[in-house]
Copies of this chain bind each other. A is one copy, B any other.
Amino acid sequence: MATQHDHHKVMQETVARLAAGENLTSMCHMRWRGEPIPSQQAVAELINTCRALIFPGFFGDSDVNRINILYHTGIAAERLYWLLCDQIAAGLALATDCDGELDINALTERAEALADKFIAKLPSLREALEADVHATYLGDPAAISTEEVIYCYPAVKAITNYRIAHALVELDVPVIPRMIAEQAHSETGIDIHPAATIGRSFTIDHGTGVVIGATARIGDNVKLYQGVTLGAKSFDLDSDGNPIKGIPRHPIIGNNVVIYSNATILGRITIGDNAVIGGNLWVTFDVAPGEKVVQAKADNVLRFKQ
Protein backbone atom coordinates (compact mmCIF):
# COMPACT_ATOMS: atom_id res chain seq x y z
CA MET A 1 0.00 0.00 0.00
CA ALA A 2 1.22 3.45 -0.88
CA THR A 3 0.48 4.74 2.63
CA GLN A 4 2.69 2.19 4.35
CA HIS A 5 5.50 3.04 1.99
CA ASP A 6 5.01 6.74 2.53
CA HIS A 7 5.06 6.26 6.27
CA HIS A 8 8.40 4.48 6.06
CA LYS A 9 9.78 7.26 3.91
CA VAL A 10 8.64 9.93 6.36
CA MET A 11 10.14 8.04 9.28
CA GLN A 12 13.47 7.29 7.66
CA GLU A 13 13.96 10.76 6.22
CA THR A 14 12.98 12.52 9.42
CA VAL A 15 15.18 10.29 11.53
CA ALA A 16 18.10 10.90 9.19
CA ARG A 17 17.58 14.67 9.28
CA LEU A 18 17.25 14.79 13.05
CA ALA A 19 20.39 12.68 13.52
CA ALA A 20 22.49 14.55 10.98
CA GLY A 21 25.45 16.35 12.54
CA GLU A 22 24.77 19.63 10.73
CA ASN A 23 21.27 19.83 12.20
CA LEU A 24 22.32 19.22 15.77
CA THR A 25 24.59 22.19 16.54
CA SER A 26 23.81 23.59 19.97
CA MET A 27 20.69 21.51 20.46
CA CYS A 28 22.47 18.24 21.21
CA HIS A 29 24.51 17.40 24.27
CA MET A 30 26.75 14.54 23.24
CA ARG A 31 29.11 12.84 25.57
CA TRP A 32 31.19 9.76 25.98
CA ARG A 33 30.53 7.43 28.84
CA GLY A 34 32.42 8.38 31.94
CA GLU A 35 32.06 12.05 31.19
CA PRO A 36 29.56 13.44 33.68
CA ILE A 37 26.41 15.10 32.40
CA PRO A 38 23.78 17.06 34.35
CA SER A 39 20.68 15.00 35.04
CA GLN A 40 17.25 16.26 36.12
CA GLN A 41 16.65 12.90 37.84
CA ALA A 42 19.93 12.99 39.73
CA VAL A 43 19.30 16.56 40.84
CA ALA A 44 15.82 15.58 42.04
CA GLU A 45 17.29 12.71 44.05
CA LEU A 46 20.00 15.01 45.41
CA ILE A 47 17.31 17.41 46.66
CA ASN A 48 15.27 14.61 48.23
CA THR A 49 18.34 13.20 49.95
CA CYS A 50 19.25 16.59 51.38
CA ARG A 51 15.68 17.07 52.61
CA ALA A 52 15.73 13.63 54.27
CA LEU A 53 19.05 14.45 55.98
CA ILE A 54 17.90 17.84 57.17
CA PHE A 55 14.34 16.90 58.15
CA PRO A 56 14.59 13.18 59.03
CA GLY A 57 11.18 11.50 59.28
CA PHE A 58 9.40 14.30 57.44
CA PHE A 59 10.97 13.58 54.07
CA GLY A 60 12.41 10.35 52.73
CA ASP A 61 12.43 7.08 54.60
CA SER A 62 9.85 7.63 57.30
CA ASP A 63 10.55 4.99 59.96
CA VAL A 64 13.15 6.99 61.87
CA ASN A 65 13.79 6.34 65.55
CA ARG A 66 16.61 6.92 68.05
CA ILE A 67 18.28 3.59 67.26
CA ASN A 68 18.24 3.67 63.50
CA ILE A 69 18.76 7.35 62.80
CA LEU A 70 22.51 6.84 62.73
CA TYR A 71 22.17 4.14 60.08
CA HIS A 72 19.69 6.11 57.99
CA THR A 73 21.83 9.23 58.20
CA GLY A 74 24.94 7.29 57.23
CA ILE A 75 23.35 5.71 54.18
CA ALA A 76 21.78 8.98 53.05
CA ALA A 77 24.99 10.98 53.55
CA GLU A 78 26.91 8.51 51.42
CA ARG A 79 24.26 8.50 48.71
CA LEU A 80 24.33 12.31 48.75
CA TYR A 81 28.12 12.31 48.46
CA TRP A 82 28.09 10.30 45.24
CA LEU A 83 25.22 12.26 43.75
CA LEU A 84 27.11 15.46 44.50
CA CYS A 85 30.34 14.13 42.99
CA ASP A 86 28.61 13.29 39.72
CA GLN A 87 26.54 16.42 39.41
CA ILE A 88 29.29 18.79 40.53
CA ALA A 89 31.63 17.21 38.00
CA ALA A 90 28.92 17.54 35.37
CA GLY A 91 28.53 21.20 36.17
CA LEU A 92 32.29 21.78 36.04
CA ALA A 93 32.54 19.92 32.72
CA LEU A 94 29.76 22.03 31.20
CA ALA A 95 31.51 25.22 32.23
CA THR A 96 34.84 24.09 30.79
CA ASP A 97 35.95 25.44 27.45
CA CYS A 98 35.08 22.65 25.03
CA ASP A 99 37.99 23.20 22.68
CA GLY A 100 40.45 21.50 24.94
CA GLU A 101 40.03 17.87 26.01
CA LEU A 102 38.45 17.34 29.40
CA ASP A 103 40.81 16.01 32.07
CA ILE A 104 38.18 13.78 33.67
CA ASN A 105 40.43 12.62 36.48
CA ALA A 106 41.22 16.17 37.57
CA LEU A 107 37.57 17.11 37.28
CA THR A 108 36.52 14.15 39.41
CA GLU A 109 39.03 14.93 42.11
CA ARG A 110 37.91 18.53 42.29
CA ALA A 111 34.27 17.46 42.42
CA GLU A 112 35.00 15.04 45.27
CA ALA A 113 36.72 17.74 47.29
CA LEU A 114 33.76 20.09 46.74
CA ALA A 115 31.28 17.35 47.67
CA ASP A 116 33.09 16.87 50.98
CA LYS A 117 32.89 20.59 51.62
CA PHE A 118 29.18 20.60 50.94
CA ILE A 119 28.57 17.60 53.21
CA ALA A 120 30.38 19.38 56.02
CA LYS A 121 27.96 22.30 55.70
CA LEU A 122 24.86 20.17 56.30
CA PRO A 123 24.60 20.76 60.06
CA SER A 124 24.68 24.53 59.61
CA LEU A 125 22.15 24.26 56.76
CA ARG A 126 19.83 22.48 59.17
CA GLU A 127 20.25 25.21 61.74
CA ALA A 128 19.43 27.90 59.18
CA LEU A 129 16.36 26.04 58.00
CA GLU A 130 15.16 25.48 61.54
CA ALA A 131 15.10 29.28 61.95
CA ASP A 132 13.21 29.65 58.67
CA VAL A 133 10.62 27.07 59.77
CA HIS A 134 10.18 28.80 63.09
CA ALA A 135 9.72 32.18 61.40
CA THR A 136 7.14 30.69 59.05
CA TYR A 137 5.21 29.19 61.93
CA LEU A 138 5.18 32.42 63.89
CA GLY A 139 4.28 34.56 60.90
CA ASP A 140 1.13 32.75 59.77
CA PRO A 141 -2.03 32.80 61.89
CA ALA A 142 -3.22 29.74 59.98
CA ALA A 143 -0.19 27.64 60.95
CA ILE A 144 -0.98 25.11 63.67
CA SER A 145 2.43 23.59 64.41
CA THR A 146 5.96 23.49 63.05
CA GLU A 147 5.20 19.94 61.90
CA GLU A 148 2.39 21.25 59.73
CA VAL A 149 4.72 23.90 58.38
CA ILE A 150 7.36 21.34 57.38
CA TYR A 151 4.80 18.98 55.83
CA CYS A 152 2.66 21.53 54.01
CA TYR A 153 4.31 24.88 53.33
CA PRO A 154 5.79 25.36 49.88
CA ALA A 155 8.05 28.07 51.27
CA VAL A 156 9.91 25.42 53.28
CA LYS A 157 10.64 23.48 50.11
CA ALA A 158 11.66 26.54 48.14
CA ILE A 159 13.90 27.94 50.87
CA THR A 160 15.47 24.52 51.49
CA ASN A 161 16.36 24.27 47.81
CA TYR A 162 17.66 27.84 47.85
CA ARG A 163 19.92 27.21 50.85
CA ILE A 164 21.27 24.00 49.28
CA ALA A 165 21.81 25.70 45.93
CA HIS A 166 23.39 28.78 47.49
CA ALA A 167 25.84 26.61 49.44
CA LEU A 168 26.92 25.16 46.07
CA VAL A 169 27.20 28.65 44.56
CA GLU A 170 29.55 29.55 47.41
CA LEU A 171 31.68 26.61 46.30
CA ASP A 172 31.66 27.95 42.70
CA VAL A 173 29.73 24.99 41.32
CA PRO A 174 28.19 25.96 37.98
CA VAL A 175 24.74 25.10 36.51
CA ILE A 176 23.68 22.57 39.18
CA PRO A 177 22.54 25.24 41.69
CA ARG A 178 20.31 26.72 39.02
CA MET A 179 18.79 23.29 38.31
CA ILE A 180 18.10 22.86 42.03
CA ALA A 181 16.42 26.26 42.17
CA GLU A 182 14.32 25.54 39.10
CA GLN A 183 13.00 22.33 40.59
CA ALA A 184 11.69 24.34 43.52
CA HIS A 185 10.32 26.93 41.08
CA SER A 186 8.41 24.20 39.26
CA GLU A 187 7.18 22.66 42.52
CA THR A 188 6.18 25.88 44.30
CA GLY A 189 6.05 28.76 41.81
CA ILE A 190 8.77 30.48 43.87
CA ASP A 191 11.78 31.48 41.76
CA ILE A 192 14.82 32.30 43.90
CA HIS A 193 18.11 32.68 42.03
CA PRO A 194 20.70 30.63 43.92
CA ALA A 195 23.23 33.46 43.78
CA ALA A 196 21.00 35.76 45.82
CA THR A 197 22.03 36.34 49.45
CA ILE A 198 19.35 35.72 52.07
CA GLY A 199 19.69 36.15 55.85
CA ARG A 200 18.26 34.11 58.71
CA SER A 201 14.61 33.47 59.59
CA PHE A 202 13.35 34.10 56.09
CA THR A 203 9.80 33.26 55.13
CA ILE A 204 7.39 33.51 52.21
CA ASP A 205 3.60 33.16 52.48
CA HIS A 206 1.75 31.27 49.70
CA GLY A 207 4.60 32.11 47.39
CA THR A 208 3.32 31.57 43.85
CA GLY A 209 4.94 34.10 41.52
CA VAL A 210 7.71 35.26 43.84
CA VAL A 211 10.89 36.16 41.91
CA ILE A 212 14.21 36.96 43.61
CA GLY A 213 16.99 37.98 41.24
CA ALA A 214 20.60 36.84 41.16
CA THR A 215 22.16 39.88 42.80
CA ALA A 216 19.46 40.55 45.40
CA ARG A 217 20.61 40.79 49.05
CA ILE A 218 18.09 40.11 51.80
CA GLY A 219 18.63 40.63 55.55
CA ASP A 220 17.35 38.68 58.55
CA ASN A 221 13.70 38.17 59.53
CA VAL A 222 12.32 39.18 56.15
CA LYS A 223 8.85 38.08 55.09
CA LEU A 224 7.52 38.09 51.53
CA TYR A 225 4.01 37.38 50.25
CA GLN A 226 2.96 35.76 46.97
CA GLY A 227 3.80 37.51 43.72
CA VAL A 228 6.57 39.70 45.09
CA THR A 229 9.31 40.48 42.56
CA LEU A 230 12.80 41.57 43.57
CA GLY A 231 13.91 42.27 40.02
CA ALA A 232 16.17 44.32 37.77
CA LYS A 233 14.83 47.63 36.44
CA SER A 234 16.99 47.57 33.38
CA PHE A 235 20.40 46.31 32.49
CA ASP A 236 23.27 47.69 30.55
CA LEU A 237 23.83 46.42 27.05
CA ASP A 238 27.20 45.72 25.54
CA SER A 239 28.28 46.97 22.14
CA ASP A 240 26.31 44.10 20.51
CA GLY A 241 23.13 45.15 22.25
CA ASN A 242 23.21 42.18 24.59
CA PRO A 243 22.91 42.47 28.38
CA ILE A 244 26.20 42.74 30.25
CA LYS A 245 26.34 39.85 32.68
CA GLY A 246 27.21 40.04 36.39
CA ILE A 247 26.39 43.66 37.32
CA PRO A 248 24.50 44.22 40.64
CA ARG A 249 21.00 45.08 39.49
CA HIS A 250 18.55 43.75 42.11
CA PRO A 251 17.37 45.31 45.41
CA ILE A 252 19.02 45.23 48.82
CA ILE A 253 16.45 44.41 51.50
CA GLY A 254 17.27 45.20 55.15
CA ASN A 255 16.39 43.25 58.29
CA ASN A 256 12.81 42.78 59.53
CA VAL A 257 11.24 43.96 56.27
CA VAL A 258 7.75 42.81 55.20
CA ILE A 259 6.73 42.99 51.54
CA TYR A 260 3.07 42.32 50.76
CA SER A 261 1.61 40.42 47.84
CA ASN A 262 2.42 41.29 44.24
CA ALA A 263 4.68 44.18 45.11
CA THR A 264 7.37 44.75 42.50
CA ILE A 265 10.71 46.04 43.78
CA LEU A 266 13.05 46.86 40.93
CA GLY A 267 16.67 47.89 40.54
CA ARG A 268 19.68 48.27 42.87
CA ILE A 269 17.65 50.18 45.45
CA THR A 270 17.75 49.74 49.21
CA ILE A 271 14.78 48.93 51.41
CA GLY A 272 15.86 49.89 54.90
CA ASP A 273 15.55 47.82 58.07
CA ASN A 274 12.04 47.41 59.47
CA ALA A 275 10.40 48.88 56.36
CA VAL A 276 6.97 47.67 55.19
CA ILE A 277 6.02 47.59 51.50
CA GLY A 278 2.29 47.36 50.71
CA GLY A 279 0.78 44.99 48.20
CA ASN A 280 0.62 45.56 44.44
CA LEU A 281 3.16 48.40 44.64
CA TRP A 282 5.72 49.25 42.00
CA VAL A 283 8.81 50.40 43.88
CA THR A 284 11.86 51.71 42.09
CA PHE A 285 13.11 54.08 44.81
CA ASP A 286 14.98 53.64 48.08
CA VAL A 287 12.84 53.18 51.17
CA ALA A 288 14.20 54.45 54.47
CA PRO A 289 14.57 52.27 57.54
CA GLY A 290 11.25 51.97 59.33
CA GLU A 291 9.34 53.60 56.48
CA LYS A 292 5.97 52.16 55.41
CA VAL A 293 4.91 52.45 51.76
CA VAL A 294 1.34 51.70 50.73
CA GLN A 295 -0.97 52.30 47.82
CA ALA A 296 -2.78 55.57 47.92
CA LYS A 297 -6.49 55.44 48.67
CA ALA A 298 -8.59 54.13 45.90
CA ASP A 299 -8.55 57.31 43.83
CA ASN A 300 -7.75 55.26 40.79
CA VAL A 301 -10.85 53.14 41.10
CA LEU A 302 -14.19 53.68 39.40
CA ARG A 303 -17.25 52.30 41.10
CA PHE A 304 -20.68 52.18 39.53
CA LYS A 305 -23.88 50.31 39.67
CA GLN A 306 -24.34 47.86 36.84
Chain B residues, Cβ within 8 Å of A199: none
Task: Verify B295–A261 contact, CB threshold 8 A.
Answer: no
Chain B residues, Cβ within 8 Å of A126: 18, 23, 27
Task: Verify A78–B69 contact, CB threshold 8 A.
Answer: no
> With A and B bound together, what is the CA distance between A189 and B249 in angstroms?
25
Q: Which of B75, B229, B287 contacts A71 (CB 8 A)?
A: B75
- Contact A229:B226 (CB < 8 A) given known A70-B15, A119-B10: yes
Task: Verify A27–B11 contact, CB threshold 8 A.
Answer: no
Task: Verify A302–B296 contact, CB threshold 8 A.
Answer: yes
For residue A30, CB closer than 8 A to chain B, the reply is yes
Sorting the interface of chain A by its residue count into under 10, 10 to 19, 20 to 34 or 35 or more gives 35 or more
Q: Which of B33, B74, B153, B185 contacts A63 (CB 8 A)?
A: B33
Q: Determine chain A's interface SS by DSSP, over half rule.
A: mixed
* Stoichiometry (number of copies): 6
Chain B residues, Cβ within 8 Å of A53: 18
For residue A252, CB closer than 8 A to chain B, the reply is no
**Chain B nearest Cβ from A175, distance in angstroms:** 5
Chain B residues, Cβ within 8 Å of A171: none
**Chain B nearest Cβ from A281, distance in angstroms:** 6
Task: Verify B208–A144 contact, CB threshold 8 A.
Answer: no
- Contact A78:B82 (CB < 8 A) given known A189-B209, A302-B293: no
For residue A106, CB closer than 8 A to chain B, the reply is no
Task: Verify A282–B280 contact, CB threshold 8 A.
Answer: yes
Task: Verify A295–B304 contact, CB threshold 8 A.
Answer: no
**Given A30-B57, A147-B175, 11 more contacts at CB 8 Å?**
A8-B67, A29-B64, A138-B242, A141-B243, A151-B175, A191-B208, A208-B211, A288-B305, A291-B305, A294-B301, A300-B300
